[in-house]
A and B are shown apart, each in its own frame.
Chain A
Amino acid sequence: MSEFTRAEACAVAIAETFRGDGEILVSPIGNLPAIGARLAKLTFEPDILLTDGVASIVANLTAVGGGVGADPEVESYMPYRTVFDTLWSGRRHVMMGATQIDGYGNQNIACIGSHAKPKAQLLGMRGAPGNTINHPTSYWVPNHSNKVFVPKVDVVSGIGYDRAAALGARSSRFHEIRRVVSNLGVFDFDTKDHRMRLASVHAGVSVDDVVGNTGFELVIPASVPETRSPTDAELELLRNVIDPKGFGAREVVG
């Protein structure tokens, strides 16, 4: 097996979040999510729909950061209004960022501090409330720390499992936080009370590294596996086709 970078391990972990998605719109927000989604499409999840980042579904997306490539094969039209229609229909899986995330997967991208007069205004709610109540959502955190993984988020933009449960079974039936991928590991909510669980650590990361950088108590299984390593074929795709300019390595070092 070839040597690989942390960014490449993250790309594979992100691609794995889309395994089994089939013929739905995948919306990766950020560089490594875009890389991971392309990797999934070019390998085990060929049916997913990806946009060019504007309003076209492009069947043959290639490198990130380079537009749609020399000969785009546009298969459909996806302006924002159609994105909303698609997400309300449930045929979508989004991977968003999170300025803060808590142990039940509540996410904040709105502001830090009080909402009336925030210490730091961020993006705003964007589509997070509607995404999380309508279809599978995953999160990507390139800078795992206890400033991001917090006991309580300042504002709930994307709703977590405790908020969803409080709505009752009918209202929350489309809610699913699939996974959280950070630069240190992969996390899921496959626990009895849907608390965040450490699913795997990336190569070179210890469980203590993760615990020490997380501001709430994670569910830690007796044995924590290592995140699946990229195959030689995946490394070839990542380095020569998907990310030849190394955008992934700018987001996650090591």
Chain B
Amino acid sequence: MDKRTTEREVVAELQSGMTLGIGGWGSRRKPMSLVRELLRSDVTDLTLVSYGGPDVGLLCAAGKVRKVVYGFVSLDSIPLEPHFRVARQTGSIEAVELDEGMLQWGLYAAANRLPFLPTRAGLGSDVLTLNPHLKLVKSPYADAEELVAMPAIELDMAWIHMNRADAGGNGQFLGPDFFFDDLFCLAAKRRFMSCEKLVATRDLLAEGSVHTLKINRTMTDGVIEAPGGAHFTECPPDYARDEPFQKEYAATAKDEKLWQEFWSRYLDVATEAEYQAAVKSR
């Protein structure tokens, strides 16, 4: 099956109030062309689930978000995501703050169609007091140990970005870390993958070993060729993070005028191609 689609068609499926999971980690291999298309839409009131980076910051700054489920939100080289900080400090979003491993467990529970998975992570910490919906479970065996029953985090839609993919929806990561991108797909009803380069299926192994083929086509509903689609996050080995651009983005959190200028120059454009052109022309 040919699963090729476009950012516009994917965002057209997304409805206000949905729960959207975004793969990657911090400012690394984020499906930013999809995020940018979402910024151009009138979708709002979203719940985001993410190992958060500028995906979360941008969507918060643009008023698209009601709630964020996260373990951290960071730009890596800039440890604190400034737009996310503004959203938190003005109280504009609801925060479900988890341990990083609990987030993995919640996605994994959803992926396995389980109501929860037990974990020791979170016990004794304020993750439990701040999230009263999280319950404990007692081991039914002789140890009777009390553990956190991390509930499944079910996603309406998941977005991931891969280095390579084929038209049938098989995806390939070529960088050092796959993160938890498979779990986002497995936890979601609708799954969309952007990629740096679409290649013929028989050419996938010329790009990397069989171990890099971590996304198979049961895990995706659509694939988008988006060269530079992770910009300004890193997407090794295709490109590094655009640090000057990230700095420019971060600085706009402190100054409404700078944010408006950034918005009109880079984000208030009709297409991803126009964004890429605006980035190149600076």
Contacts and interface: CB of A to CB of B under 8 A. Distances in A.
Interface in A72-91: 79-81, 84, 87-88
Given A121-B80, A123-B79, A157 B126 contact: yes
Interface stretch (B13-21, B156-164, B171-179): B171-179
B11 interface: no
B25 A80 contact: yes
B122 interface: yes
B102 interface: yes
Grouping DSSP codes into helix (H, G, I), strand (E, B) and loop, the A interface class, with mixed when no group exceeds half, is: loop
B104 interface: yes
B101 interface: yes
B58 to A, nearest CB: 16
B124 A167 contact: yes
A163 B101 contact: no
B101 A125 contact: no
Contacts of A166: 124
A158 B91 CA distance: 24
B149 to A, nearest CB: 14
Contacts of B95: 115
B121 A122 contact: no
Interface string B188-215: 0000000000000000000000000000
A117 B102 contact: no
A233 interface: no
Interface string A108-143: 001100011111111111111110111000000000
A158 B119 CA distance: 16
Contacts of A123: 72, 74, 79-80
B61 interface: no
B265 interface: no
B80 to A, nearest CB: 7
20 contacts: A54-B177, A56-B176, A79-B178, A80-B100, A81-B104, A84-B101, A84-B104, A121-B80, A121-B88, A124-B52, A124-B70, A127-B71, A127-B99, A129-B127, A130-B100, A130-B121, A132-B125, A134-B120, A170-B145, A172-B124
Interface of A: 54-56, 79-81, 84, 87-88, 110-111, 115-130, 132-134, 155-159, 163-164, 166-167, 170-172, 174
Closest 10 CB pairs of A and B: A130-B121, A124-B72, A129-B125, A121-B88, A117-B91, A159-B124, A163-B124, A55-B176, A129-B99, A79-B177
Given A79-B178, A156-B125, 10 more contacts: A80-B100, A87-B101, A110-B97, A116-B91, A119-B89, A123-B72, A124-B74, A126-B72, A171-B123, A172-B124
